[in-house]
Amino acid sequence: MTRQNVGMGTILMIAATFIFAMQDGISRHLAGTYNVFMIVMIRYWVFAVFVMALSLRGGGLKRALQSERPGLQFFRGAILAIEILIMVTAFVRMGLVDGPAIFASYPLLITALSGPILGERIGWRRWSLVFVGFIGVMIIIKPGSGVISFDAIFPFTAALCFALYGILNRYVSRFDSADVTFFYTGLAGAVVTSLVGVWFWEPMLPGDWLWMGLLCVTSISSHFLLIKAYELAEASAIQPFAYLQLPFSAALGVFAFGDVIRANVLIGAIIVVGAGVVTFLRARQVARR
């Protein structure tokens, strides 16, 4: 891997995280007016069409559906769709500062769950970092502060779902190709969101359809950039840059929606992100050994 590859991979990762943050802002804007189930359903319809088009270019739908564990693949894709529904709700209820700060704990949850689910050995150092990260989440939530503590259930549940999704990604990669996994992600998400979203359909203003189209474009482009980033550089080199989504989302929340960055959220987010980065670096050291 050359320095140029790592550099370009880093640029693409930063671009992807920036687009993810913009995507969160558009989702919050639309979900503030329309039902969240309908918004996510339309987004998944476009995503499903995209993955189907990719599968037709890469060998056909039959090949894309050939999984050794189709039920598990569908469940994995459904978990991601549920996570998105919950997280968009969190954006509406908590804004783009508090919600993403709590959601940033998902790498620590992956560490905690990878032991019992994947059978990986987690040493005391990484368990300590998970505990430190949990303290950071508690600082953000401020237990006993009322509605903020209750609303924190949404981003934390979304983080738990995303952690489970990430673990299942690692598990299915043992027997299915990335193309199959990507196809099931779009298929399962479209099916799950449609089962609920069609019951909440409501007319959308022409101007908001433009926002909806932009949301679909950002959803596809961000995932494309992420895939290309991992093609150009090792995950160990660029993964820490994924945390840039947190300040990107916070800046958008402050300037576009009038969110406020409270001191406890800033301190807690620094602790959570710091614990997550150190956990990642520790895992890389263990893998090299």
Nearest one of 104, 111, 118 to 159, comparing CA atoms: 104
Is residue 157 predicted with pLDDT exceeding 80? yes
pLDDT in tens, 251-271: 999 999 998 888 888 998 899
Euclidean distance between CA atoms 247 and 18, whole angstroms? 9
Q: What's the pLDDT at 1?
A: 38
CA 172, distance to chain mean position in Å, is: 18
Predicted structure pTM score: 0.86
Mean pLDDT of 44-64: 84
Provide the pLDDT confidence category of residue 3 given band limits of 50, 70 and 90: very low
Dist CA 42 CA 50 (whole Å): 13
Report, as an integer, the average pLDDT of 86-109.
90
Confidence of residue 2 (pLDDT cuts 50, 70, 90): very low
The whole-angstrom separation of Cα 47 and Cα 224 is 11
* Between residues 178 and 46, the one the model is more confident about: 46
Q: What is the C-alpha to C-alpha distance for residues 102 and 22, in angstroms, rounded to an integer?
A: 18
CA distance 25 to 23: 5
Proportion of the chain above pLDDT 90, given as a percent: 40
Whole-number mean pLDDT of the chain?
A: 85
CA pair distance 164, 72, nearest whole angstrom: 12
